[in-house]
Amino acid sequence: MLVETHNLGVHRSGRWLIEHVDLTVSRGEIVTLIGPNGGGKTTLVKTVLGLEAPDAGSLHRAPGLRIGYVPQKFHLDWTMPLTVSRLMTLTVRASRAEVLVALEETGVGHLMQAAVQTLSGGEMQRVLLARALLRDPGLLVLDEPVQGVDFTGEIALYELISGIRRTHGCGILLVSHDLHVVMREADRVICLNRHICCSGVPQTVASSPEYRKLFGPRAAQAVSVYQHHHDHAHALDGSCPGDHDHGHDHHTPSGAVDSHGEHETERGDA
C-alpha cells in the first residue's frame, strides 16, 4: 500500500471540504477521482501530498515514498524565457541524459530545447508528466492531466499514463473529468462529492445510482459502449500512423456503427 486514508476530513472556512474519505492506492494501480466541480478532488489530492493538513481521520504514506505530482494549475512566469530542459531541472537535480530519457518516454524528446511558451497544451502536459517522472516516483499524482488536450490526444495521453504504470510499477492517483476515457483506463474509480458517493471498478461505478444522478444516464451509456481495446497508437498531432484498421467497429451511443473510428461520437455528456 502506497497511501491509505481512513475517515479523512478537511475543514476550512467553517465547512467540511471533504469528509469520511477512505482511500487506498497500491503499487501498480490506477485510482481515478471523479466528481462534480468543487467536490473536493484537488483538496483530497493536496492532502495526500501533504500540502493540506487533515482535520479528521488518518493518512498514512509508505515510508520513503517518492511522489511525482502534476498539478491542476501550473504557475509560470510566462514572460521569463525558459527552455523545456531548464523547466525539467528547476526543482530536481538530473543530468541532461536523464532529462532526455524522461522527455522521450512521454514522446516529447524533440522539444528539449524548445521555449516553454511555445508549447501546445498537450505538449506541455507531456513535459510536466516527464518532469514528474524524473523523481522516479513510487506514486504519481496527476490532477487533470488532459486539460488543454483534444479528445484523440486524451486517449493517447491516458494510454501513455497506463504504460507508465506498467513500466515503472508505480501507483497512480489521477483526477479527471473525462469520464469516458477514465472508465477505460482506471482500475478503480472513486466518485467524490465531499464524501465518497460510490467507488469500485469502472463498470460498478458507472452503473451505480449515485453516479447516474451526478453525471446523467448518457454518461453511463457512453462508458458501456466503449469497451473495446485500442491496438494502435495516435501521434501527437492526432493522426494514426500506419494502418488504421482496428479489427473492430466503433459503436456510437445511439447504436450506430462509426467505421471511421471517430471517438467524439462515443463521448458521453458529463
Ligand X SMILES: Nc1ncnc2c1ncn2[C@@H]1O[C@H](COP(=O)(O)OP(=O)(O)OP(=O)(O)O)[C@@H](O)[C@H]1O
Instruction: Quote the cell numbers at residue 168.
Output: 515503472
Instruction: Quote the cell numbers at residue 141.
Output: 499524482
Segment near ligand X (CB under 6 A); pick from 32-40, 77-85, 208-216, 233-241:
32-40
Segment near ligand X (CB under 6 A); pick from 33-41, 81-89, 92-100, 119-127:
33-41
DSSP letter (8 states) at residue 260: T
CB of 243 to ligand X, least distance (A): 38
**Residue 145, helix vs strand vs coil:** coil
- Binding of residue 145 to ligand X (CB under 6 A): no
Pick the binder of ligand X from 5, 42, 152, 176 (CB under 6 A): 42
Pick the binder of ligand X from 3, 8, 40, 156 (CB under 6 A): 40
Pick the binder of ligand X from 43, 106, 199, 208 (CB under 6 A): 43
Q: How far is CA 17 from CA 42, 56, 177, 200, in A?
A: 10, 11, 19, 22
Nearest CB to ligand X, comparing residues 38 and 169: 38
Nearest CB to ligand X, comparing residues 38 and 238: 38
CA distance 255 to 140: 37
Whether the Cβ atoms of residue 265 and residue 258 lie closer than 8 Å to each other: yes
Nearest CB to ligand X, comparing residues 84 and 140: 140
Segment near ligand X (CB under 6 A); pick from 31-39, 55-63, 110-118, 254-262:
31-39
Pick the binder of ligand X from 21, 31, 32, 39 (CB under 6 A): 39
Give which of 54, 71, 257, 253 is closest to 147, Cα–Cα.
71
- Binding of residue 68 to ligand X (CB under 6 A): no
Nearest CB to ligand X, comparing residues 15 and 260: 15
Instruction: Quote the cell numbers at residue 101.
Output: 530519457
CB of 17 to ligand X, least distance (A): 4
CB of 12 to ligand X, least distance (A): 3
Residue 268 sits at φ, ψ, to 5 deg, of: -90, 160
Instruction: Quote the cell numbers at residue 230.
Output: 485500442
Segment near ligand X (CB under 6 A); pick from 39-47, 90-98, 108-116, 181-189:
39-47
Concatenating the DSSP letter of every residue in 7-68 gives EEEEEETTEEEEEEEEEEE-TT-EEEEE--TTSSHHHHHHHHHTSS--SEEEEEE-TT--EE
Nearest CB to ligand X, comparing residues 7 and 83: 7
- Binding of residue 14 to ligand X (CB under 6 A): no
Helix extents (H) in 121-172: 121-133, 151-168
Task: Summarize as ranges the residues that interact with ligand X (CB under 6 A).
Answer: 12-13, 17, 35, 37-43
